[in-house]
Structure 1
Amino acid sequence: MASSRLDPDHVRIQRGAEPFLLDGGEVGCVCTHGFTASPEEMRWLATYLHDRGLTVYVPRLAGHGTQPAIMRRQHWLNWYEDELDAIALLRARCRQVFAVGLSMGGLLSLRAGEDGLVDGVIALAAPVFIEQRAARFARLIDFVRPYTRKGDWPGALDEAVRAAQRALGLDDYGRLDYGIRPTASVVQLSALMRDVRRRLSQLTAPLLLVYSRADDTAPYASLDYIVRHVRSADVVQHTLERSGHVLTQDVERDTVYRLVWEFLQPRLDG
């Protein structure tokens, strides 16, 4: 487990948690990972889209894939700046750019859509609110408990990901997710959710929303909330039944990849 103590002498990106670019055609996708995770959880989706001719960039959000003590020092706007950098990078080489995000990455994708920066938004299990009571009091809790351990970490999903990585001939470093949550970062996640909710009526771009009823992190009610508040005329919704929160790596991941591609394909120029 990563240490909660800041070690400035050993600031390194974990092996496998690096951002990456898959150079392809003139349509680009920014695929953004979730809270406490890393670009690794978007790798299989990114490869799937690249195999179909798209250029894909997967950014690493500030403080992720390094040390939790670095993550707790980030403001949500730091994460949004990472999203903006990624979009700008693809705008320089692609005629169309779509934002594809999982969990907090989905929130950042929605925010980019609200700002009119992308040609479409795909939000996978993006929570626009959190039902856990502790999250609502995170600012106070941070004074006495700067980190909380994840009870399910690394969990069965990490073992399944490692097995899949081995089957693909890859290094089996697993999900590359922190085993602790910086409480200050939960505060920033909540602030990001509030900002996204406040701006939803500004979102007019084509929108794909994919959520799972079995997700115990992103409330399924987020789906309906987003649909009711955006002004997009082109909204596609899909519900999964068996996946947990990490839709891009869980049991229905192949279905998720297909849904993303089926949404993108008819909306590509030319």
Structure 2
Amino acid sequence: MEIMRGAEEIKYEGNEVGVLVSRGFTGTTQSIRPLAESYAREGYTVCAPRLKGHGTTPEDMETTTYHDWVASVDDAMTWLLDRCGSVFVVGLSMGGTLALETAVQYEAVKGIVLINAAIEIPALNHIDSNNQRFIEPIGADIKNESFELTYDKTPVKSVEQLQDLMSEVREKLSSIHCPILLFVSDEDHVVPPHNSEVIFQSVFSERKELVHLENSYHVATLDYDQDLIKERSLEFFQRYTKTRAMD
């Protein structure tokens, strides 16, 4: 299956602290490349996986399940843990959902950074899966004039998989204890901002912070607040790398 140009997996080998960066539903690594590159410039070992069924065609995505998407992240974690003693996980949208799942599964995760993470999207509940195979595209919700590489239509079967993933992760939020930094756009036309509030209240992390993005829509990693996300997430990595070293 041919991969869209710009949707390829991103890997940088650096120091012994790894950072996994994941984009979400129907998106590609293009939308999180600025983050991945900024982390690599600071010396971190970085991996941004191409989720199975993403960055190819909607028809290809239609054949995958959320277990395949989790497995794509697991492969990235394996690559990072072969090189690093600890890993931070960063996720945009469904990438944030996958970051939460990863934090539950791996003790090596020392902290997670979520950007407009998704655990419930009520608008998806009204899609009639019996009468349509594809719906309008989801994504490209950006306040500035940036371009996002994503699909031009969305498989309904994949929407059902996303709902199953979000439901499963919602049930696990109380199992998360690692430090967590959440970014939430005050105006998001894809994932209701309330998602981040629920995550913030539900995780059992002693060290957690919620940062409001006042000048970005859903794909904040390409929007006006992307520099703020870079700066604050890098500070987060440094803070909890130092904390671990002191412990």
TM-score w.r.t. structure 2 length? 0.93
Q: Deviations over 1:138-165 (max 9, x none)?
A: 4xx2221110123x886876x833xxxx
Confirm or deny that 1:233 pairs with 2:206.
Answer: yes
Q: Deviations over 1:82-102 (max 9, x none)?
A: 111111110010111111110
Secondary structure of 2:171 counterpart: helix
Confirm or deny that 1:188 pairs with 2:175.
Answer: no
Equivalence for 2:34 = 44
Equivalence for 2:61 = 71
Equivalence for 1:116 = 106
The alpha carbon displacement at 1:223 in A equals 1.7
Query: Amino acid of the residue matched to residue 98 of structure 2?
Result: L
Equivalence for 2:117 = 126
Question: Hey, what's the Cα distance between the residues in 1 that align with 2:219 and 2:189?
Answer: 10
Question: Hey, what's the Cα distance between the residues in 2 that align with 1:208 and 1:88?
Answer: 23
Equivalence for 1:7 = none
CA distance 1:67–1:95, change in 2 (3 Å): same
Q: Is the 8 A contact 2:139 2:190 kept in 1?
A: no
Q: Is the 8 A contact 1:116 1:205 kept in 2?
A: no
Query: Amino acid of the residue matched to residue 191 of structure 1?
Result: D
Confirm or deny that 1:145 pairs with 2:112.
Answer: no
| Equivalences, count | 242
CA distance 1:142–1:263, change in 2 (3 Å): same
Equivalence for 2:23 = 33
Q: Is the 8 A contact 2:141 2:189 kept in 1?
A: no
Percent of pairs with identical residues:
33
Question: Hey, what's the Cα distance between the residues in 2 that align with 1:75 and 1:16?
Answer: 23
Question: Hey, what's the Cα distance between the residues in 2 that align with 1:30 and 1:155?
Answer: 23
The alpha carbon displacement at 1:175 in A equals 2.2
Q: Which runs of 5+ in 2 are unaligned?
A: none
Q: Is the 8 A contact 1:91 1:97 kept in 2?
A: yes
From 145, 155, 160, the counterpart of 2:145: 160
CA distance 1:153–1:108, change in 2 (3 Å): closer
Secondary structure of 2:222 counterpart: coil
Question: Hey, what's the Cα distance between the residues in 2 that align with 1:130 and 1:195?
Answer: 14
Query: Amino acid of the residue matched to residue 176 of structure 1?
Result: L
From 186, 190, 197, the counterpart of 1:217: 190
TM-score w.r.t. structure 1 length? 0.85
Query: Amino acid of the residue matched to residue 144 of structure 1?
Result: N
CA distance 1:53–1:156, change in 2 (3 Å): closer
Secondary structure of 2:53 counterpart: coil
Secondary structure of 2:30 counterpart: helix
Runs of 4+ in 1 over 2 A off after TM superposition: 152-157
CA distance 1:127–1:91, change in 2 (3 Å): same
Q: Is the 8 A contact 1:227 1:235 kept in 2?
A: yes
Equivalence for 1:170 = none
Question: Hey, what's the Cα distance between the residues in 2 that align with 1:116 and 1:149?
Answer: 35
Over aligned residue pairs, what C-alpha RMSD do you find? 1.7
Q: Is the 8 A contact 1:21 1:57 kept in 2?
A: yes
Question: Hey, what's the Cα distance between the residues in 2 that align with 1:127 and 1:243?
Answer: 16
Q: Deviations over 1:156-196 (max 9, x none)?
A: 76x833xxxxxxxxxxxx42200111111111111111011
